[in-house]
């Protein structure tokens, strides 16, 4: 199996795979098998099955986010059915913009932000910058919910091992949070630099 573990439509972790497929269709129209290949080459970390991609397409069409482009070529799919080519509707484009601007659940932040970075177009950068900055602020708020570490106690034999273990796990959470905040800050810095250069370039061009 090429595309990792099989997922049902509701059981992928909180990340919105619907928007990933939608984003690919905003880039250019495509048909089922084509999208499976694009998902596989650019979003292999999501581990989506072929079946799942077809189900997502079905869902997207029912919701009116994508539409059948109307060019059917017989025998296009490996199943011999007519191949249906989809494109994003204007409603779909709107929903995609909203998704870019919506902060992700912390548990799927890394994957979802990877997907957003991957699918954004230059005109999505302001929303991407704003949402990334907001996620950084959420991480700082999360810092306030963590316990103050006293790792010095870990080394003290009088402290029960169970307590020591909890402190070490807390320490991992903190380090993970730091890595995340640093990554988010770096993304913001780079996007902002790029936006400044884009506006410099457009100001200096005749």
Partner 1 sequence: MKPLLRLDSVSKSYMRGPRELRILRDVSLDVHAGEFVGIYGQRGSGKTTLLRVAAGFEAPGSGVVTFDGVDVRGIRRRDLARLHRHDIGWVERAGPQSRELPMRDYVALSLYRAVGPAEAQRRAVAALAKVGAEDAADAHWSSLSDTARMLVAIAHALVREPRLLLVDDPTAGLSIIDRERVVGLLRSAAEDAGLGVLMAVPDMPAMLHAHEVRSLSRGRLLAPADPPPNGGNVVEFPGGERSA
Nearest to 32 by CA among 52, 11, 14: 52
Closest CB 123 distance from partner 1, rounded Å: 21
Does position 158 bind partner 1 by CB under 8 A?
A: no
DSSP characters over 15-28: S-HHHHHHHHHHHS
C-beta closer to partner 1: residue 82 or 186: 186
Structure tokens at 91: 């409603």
Contact window for partner 1 (CB under 8 A) among 27-35, 78-86, 114-122, 178-186: 178-186
DSSP 14: S
For the segment 65-104, give every residue that binds partner 1 (CB under 8 A).
Answer: none
Taking a C-beta distance cutoff of 8 angstroms, is the pair 96, 88 a contact?
Answer: yes
One of 34, 61, 67, 192 touching partner 1 (CB under 8 A)? 192
CA distance 61 to 180: 35
C-beta closer to partner 1: residue 118 or 178: 178
**Residue 46: how many CB atoms within 10 A of its CB?**
21
Binding site for partner 1 (CB under 8 A): 9-18, 21, 55-56, 59-60, 105-108, 133-134, 136-138, 140-152, 155, 171, 173-175, 177-178, 181-182, 185, 188-189, 192
């Amino acid at each position: 199996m090429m595309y990792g573990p099989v997922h049902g439509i509701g059981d992928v972790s909180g990340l919105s795979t619907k928007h990933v497929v939608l984003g690919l269709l905003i880039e250019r129209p495509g048909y089922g098998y084509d999208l499976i290949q694009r998902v596989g080459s650019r979003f292999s970390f999501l581990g989506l099955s072929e079946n799942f991609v077809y189900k997502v397409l079905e869902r997207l069409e029912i919701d009116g986010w994508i539409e059948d482009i109307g060019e059917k070529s017989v025998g296009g799919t490996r199943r011999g059915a007519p191949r249906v080519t989809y494109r994003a509707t204007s409603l779909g484009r709107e929903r995609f913009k909203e998704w870019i601007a919506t902060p992700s659940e912390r548990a799927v932040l890394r994957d979802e932000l990877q997907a957003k970075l991957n699918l954004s177009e230059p005109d999505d950068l302001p929303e991407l910058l704003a949402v990334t900055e907001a996620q950084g602020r959420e991480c700082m708020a999360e810092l306030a919910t963590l316990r103050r570490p006293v790792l010095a106690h870990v080394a003290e034999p009088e402290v029960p091992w169970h307590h020591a273990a909890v402190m070490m796990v807390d320490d991992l959470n903190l380090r993970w949070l730091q890595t995340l905040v640093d990554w988010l800050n770096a993304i913001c810095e780079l996007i902002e630099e790029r936006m400044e250069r884009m506006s410099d370039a457009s100001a200096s061009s005749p």
